[in-house]
A and B are shown apart, each in its own frame.
Chain A
Amino acid sequence: MKPIRKIVDKVKPNFEKGGKLEKFYPAFNAFETFLFVPEHTTPSQGAHIRDAIDLKRTMILVVISMVPCLLFGMWNIGYQHYLALGISDATFMQQVGFGAIKVLPIVIVSYVTGLTVEFIFAIIRKHVINEGFLVTGMLIPLVMPVDVPLWMVSVSTIFAVIIGKEVFGGTGMNILNPALTARAFLFFAYPTKMSGNEVWINTSLKEGQQVVDGFSGATPLGNAAADLKENIPGVWESFVGFIPGSIGETSTLACLIGAAILLFTGIGSWRIMLSVFIGGYLMAIVLNLFGLNTLMQLSPVHHLVLGGFAFGAVFMATDPVTASHTNTGKYIYGFLIGLFAILIRVFNPAYPEGMMLAILFMNIMAPLIDHYVVQANINRRLKRIRIHDK
C-alpha cells in the first residue's frame, strides 16, 4: 500500500484549493478515500455517532454479500445455456466461463456508466462523490436478464442515477431504489427485452448446434402464469436456483447467504427481511384457499423461492435510504411488500415479477408509514401527559 499512498500524496496538491485541477477534487477525493481510510474523523463536539465503519466500508460489505448471487448467477447462466442446447458433457468450468463472458460486460457497463454520471454530477455540484453507487452498480446487473443489450443497461443506469437519485439530491435523498428504477425503466421501455420467454436463457448457437426439442425458455413464473403446471420446477430446485431468471435472482440459497452476511454485520434490517417473507407467505396461504388457477395454487413456500422474491427481500427492500426508518414502520413496510409482491404476481399475468413493483410502490409509501408511526408515538405520549395533568 505504501507506494500507492506515495503517489496519492504526490498528486494531492494539484487537486487542493489553488491547484490547477481543483475542479476535479471530488473525483480525487473519491479515489483517495476509497483506497485509504480518511484521516479526518468526527469532531468531539456535536451529537454524531462515532463508528469505525464509514459509508464506503458499509457499501463494500453489501457488495461482498452479493457475491454469492453473482457467482451462482454466472454458473447458472452457463448451465441453462448448455442445458438448452442439449450439451450434457459441459464441464463446470465451461459453464462458469460461459456465464462470466455474458455477465461481466453487463457489470462493467453498469459500473462505468453509473460512476461517470456520478462523477459528472459531483464535479458540477461540487459535492463529494457518494458511495451508494457501489451497491447500485452491482445490483443492476443482478436484476437484468442475460440477453439484455448492453446499451440498454447503460441507458437504464443513466436514467436510474439521474432521475432516480441525483434529481432528489444524491445518495441518501432518493425516494426510489435506484437499481429497481433502472429495472422498471427497462421493463416498461423495452418490454421485448425484459420480459417474455426469449431473454432469460442465452441460446446463441454455433455452427451445427440447435436448441433441444420442447425448449421454451420461459421462467417458472411465466409457466405458472400460462397454467403449465408440469413445467414448474420443484421447491428444492427453485430454492437452490437451477431455474431460468434474471442473473442474480434465481438462487434463494445464495440470497440467504447474502442475507446472513448482511445480518451478521448488522447492515441489513432483519425486521424488513422477516416481515417481507411473512407477508408473502400469508398472502400465498390466503390465495391458496381460493386456488382458482396455477399461480393461486402454488404453495406458499414455493412462491417464496421462485422469481426475485428472496433477492428483493434481502437486497432491495432493505435499502436503508428508501425503506421505512422506524422499527414499527419496518414491519409494516416489509409485510406489505411481501403481500403486494404475491398479489401482483398472481392477479396481473402481464407482470409475473411483482416484487419489483411491490418494492417501488412501498418505497413511495415508506415516508407515509413513518409519519403515522411517529405521529402515533407522539399521540401516545401526549395522552400520558394529559393523564398526569389530571
Chain B
Amino acid sequence: MSTETVKAPVKVKVSGERLFSPKNKKLVTDPLNDSNPITVQVLGICSALAVTTKMEPSIVMAMAVVVVCAFSNLVISIIRNIIPNRIRIIVQLTVVASLVILVDQVLKAYVYDVSKQLSVFVGLIITNCIIMGRLEAFAMGNKPWPAFLDGVGNGIGYGLILVLVSAVRELLGSGELMGFRIVPDSFYKLGYFNNGLAILPPMALIVVGVFIWIQRTKNPKLVENN
C-alpha cells in the first residue's frame, strides 16, 4: 500500500511558546481541505472503500485512525533524534503496530459489534499510507507538539471524508443513517428501492470522486495548470 513516494521532511518552526499559534492551527486545519489526505493526496483509499458502507463503522474507523496517527506522530517525533536512519521504517512500523494493537483491544472491549464489522481493516491501519506518510514527511523532522497536531489534523481529514462518504452510501444503500431509518416507509410503498450499487465498493470510489470534483470546484488552488 505505501508505495507512494514520500516528500522530504518539512520543517515547521514553532513560533514562541504558544500552543495554538496560527502555524500550529494550520497544521490541524490544512489537512481538512487544502491537503486532505484522501481527496488531495489520494492516500488511504483502500480502507475508505472498504469500511464506508455504514456510518457507524466508519466513525469508529475514523477515530481509530486519528488516535493512531496522532500518537505515532508524537512518539516518533520524541525519539526522532535517536532513531538510526537506516532502520527508521522498522522503528516506525513497530510504534504504529503497537498503537494499532492497543486500539484494536479497546475496540474489542467496548464496541465489539463494530470491531467485528471492521474486521481486518483495524489491523490494516498499520499499512495505511497516511500514517506512514506523515511519520516520514513530518514527525521525523518536527518537534513533538506540532507533530501531534499534524497527526490529529490528518486523522480528522481522513475521517471527515470517511464519514461523509459513508453517510451518502448508507442513505442511498440502506435508507438509514447511523442505523436509524431516514427514508419513510411510505416511499417504499410508492415504489422506492434502496440503491444496491451504493453498498458495493465501486460506489465509494464514485462518491470520493464526486467529493474531489466538488472540492476542486470550490477551491481553485487545487487545480493544476496544464
Contacts and interface: CB of A to CB of B under 8 A. Distances in A.
Nearest to A162: B210
B191 interface: yes
A190 B191 contact: no
Contacts of A149: 191
A190 B209 contact: no
A220 B69 CA distance: 56
Contacts of B196: 188-191
Contacts of B200: 188
A185 B196 CA distance: 9
Contacts of A167: 209, 213
Interface in A355-372: none
Q: For the side of the interface on A, what is the size category? A: 10 to 19
Interface string A178-200: 00000001001111110000000
A19 B213 CA distance: 32
A149 B188 CA distance: 13
Contacts of A190: 193, 195-196
A163 interface: yes
A3 to B, nearest CB: 42
B198 A189 contact: yes
Nearest to B172: A189
Nearest to B195: A189
A151 interface: yes
A152 B206 CA distance: 19
Contacts of A191: 196
Interface in A108-160: 149, 151-152
B182 interface: no
Interface residues of B, number: 13
Contacts of A152: 193
A189 B197 contact: yes
A237 to B, nearest CB: 33
A68 B196 CA distance: 34
Q: Which of A188, A191, A192 has the most CB of B within 10 A?
A: A188
B202 to A, nearest CB: 8
Contacts of B191: 149, 151
A192 B213 contact: no
A192 B193 contact: yes
A181 to B, nearest CB: 11
Interface in B197-225: 197-198, 200, 202, 206, 209-210, 213
A166 B195 CA distance: 22
A188 B172 CA distance: 13
Interface in B41-91: none
Interface string B83-103: 000000000000000000000
Contacts of B192: 151
Contacts of A185: 197
B17 to A, nearest CB: 48
A191 B193 CA distance: 10
Nearest to B190: A151
Nearest to B196: A189
Contacts of B202: 188
Nearest to B209: A167
A126 to B, nearest CB: 14
Contacts of A193: 193
Nearest to B198: A189
Most buried by B among A152, A189, A191: A189
Nearest to B213: A167
Contacts of A189: 195-198
Interface string A65-88: 000000000000000000000000
Contacts of A188: 196-197, 200, 202
Nearest to A167: B213
B206 A163 contact: yes
A190 B197 CA distance: 8
A300 B192 CA distance: 40
Nearest to B217: A124
A174 to B, nearest CB: 14
A228 B192 CA distance: 33
Nearest to A124: B217
Nearest to A188: B197
B193 to A, nearest CB: 5
Contacts of B198: 189
Which of B191, B193, B209 counts the most chain A CB atoms within 10 A? B193
Contacts of B209: 167
A152 B192 CA distance: 9
Contacts of A151: 191-192
Nearest to B173: A189
B149 to A, nearest CB: 35
Nearest to A186: B197
Interface in B170-195: 191-193, 195
A149 B191 CA distance: 8
B13 to A, nearest CB: 41
A386 B72 CA distance: 58
A211 B210 CA distance: 46
B155 to A, nearest CB: 29
What 10 pairs across the A-B complex have the smallest Cβ distances? A189-B197, A188-B197, A189-B195, A190-B193, A189-B196, A149-B191, A191-B196, A188-B196, A163-B206, A188-B200
7 contacts: A152-B193, A185-B197, A188-B197, A188-B200, A189-B196, A192-B193, A193-B193
Interface of A: 149, 151-152, 163, 167, 185, 188-193
Given A163-B206, A189-B198, A190-B195, 8 more contacts: A151-B192, A163-B210, A167-B209, A185-B197, A188-B197, A188-B200, A189-B196, A193-B193
